Chains A and B, each alone.
Chain A
Amino acid sequence: MTLAVIASYMALVLMVGVLSHRLFRGTGEDYFLATRSIGPFVLLMSLFGTQMTAFALLGASGQSYRTGIGVFGLMASSSAIVVPTVFFFVGTRAWAIGKRCGYTTQVEYIRDRWESDLLGLLLFIALVALLIPYLLIGVMGAGITLADISGGQVPTWVGGLVISLVVMTYVTYGGLRGTAWANTFQTLVFMTLGAVTFIYVANAMGGLGPAFERIAEARPDLLVREGNYSPVTYLSFLFIPLSAGMFPHLFMHWLTASKLHNFRITVVAYPLCIAVVWIPSVLLGVLGNIDFPELTVLESNAVMVRLIETHAPEFLAGLLGAGVFAAVMSSLDSQTLSLGTMFTKDIVLHYGYDQKMTDHQQVLVARIFVASILVVTYLLSLITRTSIFAMGTWSFTGFAGLFPIIVAALFWKRSTKLGAFASLLTVTALWTYYFIQGWGQPDYSVGGTGVMPVAVIVTASALAMLAGSLLSSPPCDATMRKFFSA
């Protein structure tokens, strides 16, 4: 029954993706950006769905299982305030510049903004390197979910394989329009199913009141932040959602908006969408301690699945599995497509084939890249063994570190390519250092102070941008006029 529900859901997603292909206009612009025609509701759903992944469902519930209710403030309400701020200040301006200049990727913009091919290439490498672990979160999450829901009958490699094949099919076929439509459908699914699951499980546990009483007796530490997170950690975690400003897949989705006005509903409704998804995840993670008090870090990522198995009918377990798959696929598709787009636009077309490829050939190349990326990600998922939460945090840390680059590009006329180089190299050096220091230590902070590496990296990146820019000459007048009014 469970597997049948999931299989039916997969068929539905494929159908949505295939249906969207009927609107495909055959051009590169349509494949990469849906001809910049996306309306407000689909923009909200696709941006939100792209941001929410296995990290929000499995990672968050696993983390709250271990550290309690503080995860909501740490990750959810911080995102609820920072991400719409980024959309409002950065997304709208990126949209305007992207539309006027025909940009499809961040690298195209940054390369022109500071007149540097090398900068564009280095940024490309950094973005791809940081996106790979983010892709892994999704594929691994799918494997864990399917294995747990099937009681171990379906090995973890099957879930990852299934999800990779489904995403590969509708992304290569439908391009960004297919991705946006599938995202919208899937976002509605996982928002609804998360809430339904939570209500059902909470009722089955005798209601929230009695459940929390049991937690208060057995694990009172999970109901407070004291002992789990320091205020400094909370404060420095506010830097993590800045990553939204540098995610290639979000940048691409921003550019799909048909009008600037479409951003309004996204900015306003985003915090509520966050609450709808994260409240069930965090609470179920905490309540999981009642039935499963001694899960390991890796096992705790599947605590929500175990709760469903224990307290809900098999049909609901299947629906939750579908919900997790929906969250995973709604991110994996955009991330994969953005990588395919970047390889096509920033490498193949930029380095030699710009005037030599037809639209049809561009789309074909992008499709080949999309398929290849998914194959590589899937193979990596088979040999990766670590917490989804840790992997997500390190990926987000890197993207957040690059945030000063897009801010300087959009807002600081005097910024220079030397500043951008300095910022990029600073992020690379510090991220690598902290990654080596902190890998395998879930509670790692800078010098044990509670300060997350992301706070140091973003600050140093901004300072490097400032110093590098002030020590060098700004771009030529033509470029300045191109991007800023007199």
Chain B
Amino acid sequence: MKAVAYGLLTLLYVLHTDVWYWDVSRMVLGFPIGFTYHVLGTIVITGTFWLVVRYTWPIELEAAEEHGVGTASNHLDCDLTSVESP
């Protein structure tokens, strides 16, 4: 599912520039199609981010919750070794 979520997200980036409706003024759902397309797009984007959050959440970063907050005086010595590199 991780690949699907990231794949969908990438696809949405590609589909953002909708050249196929560039000069079309037809009304769809009461609005010009170039507008409707992007409004509906935000709903699809929401669904995609739900998938991304659901299946690709960086759970390893939550380890930071178990540690106390560093201070301005010790942040040069902070230990981040349990935070995995992405």
- A contacts, CB < 8 Å to B: 29, 36, 69-70, 72-73, 76-78, 80-81, 84-85, 88-89, 92-93, 95-97, 99-104, 108, 112, 208-209, 212, 216, 220, 223-226, 231, 234-235, 238, 259-261, 264, 267-272, 274-275, 279, 282-283, 345, 349, 354-355, 410-411, 413, 481-486
B81 touches A212 (CB 8 A): no
B84 touches A234 (CB 8 A): no
A485 touches B9 (CB 8 A): no
Closest to A72 in B: B38
B9 touches A85 (CB 8 A): yes
The minimal Cβ–Cβ distance linking A260 to chain B, given in whole angstroms, is: 5
**CA A93 to CA B9, docked complex, whole Å:** 19
Q: For chain B residues 13-58, which have a beta carbon within 8 Å of chain A?
A: 13, 16-19, 21-25, 27, 30-32, 34-35, 37-39, 41-43, 45-46, 49-50, 52-53, 57-58
B81 touches A238 (CB 8 A): no
The minimal Cβ–Cβ distance linking B6 to chain A, given in whole angstroms, is: 10
Closest to B12 in A: A81
**CA A85 to CA B48, docked complex, whole Å:** 11
* In the A-B complex, the 7 residue pairs with the closest CB atoms: A102-B70, A226-B23, A101-B78, A101-B75, A96-B64, A77-B38, A73-B38
A102 touches B71 (CB 8 A): yes
B16 touches A238 (CB 8 A): yes
The minimal Cβ–Cβ distance linking A476 to chain B, given in whole angstroms, is: 12
A-B interface pairs (CB < 8 A), number: 179
Residues of A within 8 A of B16 (CB): 73, 77-78, 81, 234-235, 238
Tally of B interface residues using CB under 8 Å? 55
Residues of A within 8 A of B3 (CB): none
Partner of B65, one of A226, A259, A411: A259
A102 touches B74 (CB 8 A): yes
B85 touches A485 (CB 8 A): yes
Known: A77-B42, A220-B25, A261-B62. Is A481-B17 also a contact (CB below 8 A)? no
B53 touches A264 (CB 8 A): yes
**CA A225 to CA B21, docked complex, whole Å:** 8
B39 touches A279 (CB 8 A): yes
The minimal Cβ–Cβ distance linking B61 to chain A, given in whole angstroms, is: 4
**CA A413 to CA B63, docked complex, whole Å:** 20
Residues of A within 8 A of B64 (CB): 95-97, 99-100, 260
Residues of A within 8 A of B42 (CB): 76-77, 80, 271-272, 274-275
Residues of A within 8 A of B38 (CB): 72-73, 76-77
A216 touches B25 (CB 8 A): yes
**CA A486 to CA B74, docked complex, whole Å:** 22
Can you give 9 contacting A-B residue pairs, CB < 8 Å? Answer: A212-B27, A212-B30, A224-B22, A224-B23, A224-B24, A271-B49, A355-B73, A413-B85, A485-B81
Residues of A within 8 A of B86 (CB): 89, 93, 410-411
Partner of A223, one of B19, B25, B62: B25
B34 touches A92 (CB 8 A): no
The minimal Cβ–Cβ distance linking A229 to chain B, given in whole angstroms, is: 9
Residues of A within 8 A of B58 (CB): 92-93, 260
Partner of B69, one of A29, A84, A355: A29
Partner of B83, one of A208, A235, A267, A485: A485
**CA A482 to CA B75, docked complex, whole Å:** 10
**CA A95 to CA B67, docked complex, whole Å:** 13
**CA A234 to CA B38, docked complex, whole Å:** 12
B84 touches A485 (CB 8 A): yes
Partner of B61, one of A29, A112, A260, A411: A260
B41 touches A483 (CB 8 A): no
**CA A180 to CA B21, docked complex, whole Å:** 40
The minimal Cβ–Cβ distance linking B78 to chain A, given in whole angstroms, is: 4
